[in-house]
Chain A
């Protein structure tokens, strides 16, 4: 028992915490993919922008304003990116939209580099969630404990939104059949914007949690967690919300166990190996649906 609390518990806690952060980002990927069949390569960068916005906001306003301000700016950015970079390509081949996403990612990274001068910045300490707490004799930041709880709460709200509201119904319709939904009078652009708004909101929340743990922000810092969150979304079955969450937690936990075993070089490689394994054995992921082309 003693060894468990000393060695395994911190690993597990860190894993669950990282998993929650991945899950929050993965939701943005999975919802967009569900509707537009687009891997939004810029999502990881939107997440990073949220980190920088918080860094700058805290210098001019108190925390209780900086947090909503960051969320607002991130959501606005997600919305704008969709309107400017994806909407004009609605009838273009899927590859063009994906290339546009890569272009946006490139632009955002260069923009962040320009604004910050490329230097990694110290993420501000957010009171309360960055405080130290003691759990079963192990000292850790409070954010580690809050992350999974907050993640689960947010996902429950999201599920309620999707299952119970009219916009949720429209989202489900659009993800099932984009064209038919449009013909049936679903305001498809509104639905897509809403998807990006929700995805960016969750990415902003994820960024508070993530950067409170990792403490520095740099222009490319979001790429890796972004890719991992995407892997989580694929692992769970892209397009599926519970899938993204389960995938996020599994990847977060596995990664931290691998680090704890002393193979930290391979923690990233593991994530991608897992991705390739899933894609080859069950390309639709744990909860995904099958799509077939008609001859």
Chain B
């Protein structure tokens, strides 16, 4: 059994009355490339946002490298309107009542059974770190709609991502007492840009790059934050087949080179089937299948829900 990198347990994300992600369970092991696929609006990006701390989940928990980093359960108004799985556990005041004539042992057993259904149910401890804290733990992401810092050069975009690894405080940085660290960071960034083959455009504005290079820059920026787990939100969106092939090779290459685990959302089936070790399929917020690419390709539910739609397109 290889080391566990990311574990998502019973995660439900509900916006008002809409359940975007419904009781998602997912595991990623060290060194794997795992894809999350599903039709538009299936809740893939929402799941990413929960993992990276952009959204606080309505229920469930996320563990990273064996440590729980995000945890929540329905609270306040959500207690009344919760519509995800196991509503009986969360709506109203849930308490495990002793049945008439039930002994301590039987009660404890039932308690265990409830925990089996959702380990989150008896804890009230909420963990909701901001995205930057999660990034510092060793997770970095890209965005579906590219979010580069527009007024900054290619080089600075990557350099800024190094900021979260800076140890100097604002005074030592202002008065240039961190010269060694700064120089080391600049060197690393220069090396990183060489690896992603953007060193020839490093002084250009990030937004002046062609689309494919902007995507690659976003990945370079994420790498600069020194992640163990890299989350890619539709990295091949808008790319032509040739660019997609290059990207496929590139993702494999950086995985090996930086000793990464990769979790990605993608619509390009070629890419997904090529590089994924395992695939999870979401539809209407629910997990409908999981397995190796070969298993997913032959899964009837997936074909109905997803590939069938893709054929029409």
Which A positions have Cβ atoms within 8 angstroms of B?
A: 295
Contact = CB atoms under 8 A, between A and B. Distances in A.
4 contacts: A295-B45, A295-B49, A295-B54, A295-B143
Contacts of A295: 45, 49, 54, 143
Interface of B: 45, 49, 54, 143
Nearest to A294: B145
Contacts of B45: 295
A25 B295 CA distance: 67
B49 to A, nearest CB: 6
A295 B45 CA distance: 9
B81 to A, nearest CB: 16
A7 B45 CA distance: 62
Nearest to B46: A295
B76 to A, nearest CB: 15
Contacts of B54: 295
Nearest to B55: A295
A295 B55 CA distance: 10
A295 B54 CA distance: 8
B147 to A, nearest CB: 9
A295 B265 CA distance: 15
A295 B53 CA distance: 12
B14 to A, nearest CB: 15
Nearest to A292: B15
Contacts of B143: 295
A257 to B, nearest CB: 34
B295 to A, nearest CB: 31
4 closest pairs, A vs B, by CB? Answer: A295-B54, A295-B49, A295-B143, A295-B45
A95 to B, nearest CB: 14
A21 to B, nearest CB: 37
A252 to B, nearest CB: 33
Nearest to B233: A295
A295 B143 CA distance: 8
A295 B49 CA distance: 8
A295 B147 CA distance: 9
B3 to A, nearest CB: 29
B237 to A, nearest CB: 15
A228 B115 CA distance: 55
A295 B131 CA distance: 12
A295 B142 CA distance: 11
B305 to A, nearest CB: 24
A295 B15 CA distance: 14
B150 to A, nearest CB: 12
A295 B145 CA distance: 8
B48 to A, nearest CB: 9
Nearest to B144: A295
A295 B13 CA distance: 15
B60 to A, nearest CB: 19
B187 to A, nearest CB: 32
Nearest to B15: A292
B127 to A, nearest CB: 20
A19 B205 CA distance: 52
A241 B143 CA distance: 38
A82 B45 CA distance: 41
B12 to A, nearest CB: 18
Nearest to B54: A295
A54 to B, nearest CB: 48
A93 to B, nearest CB: 12
A133 to B, nearest CB: 49
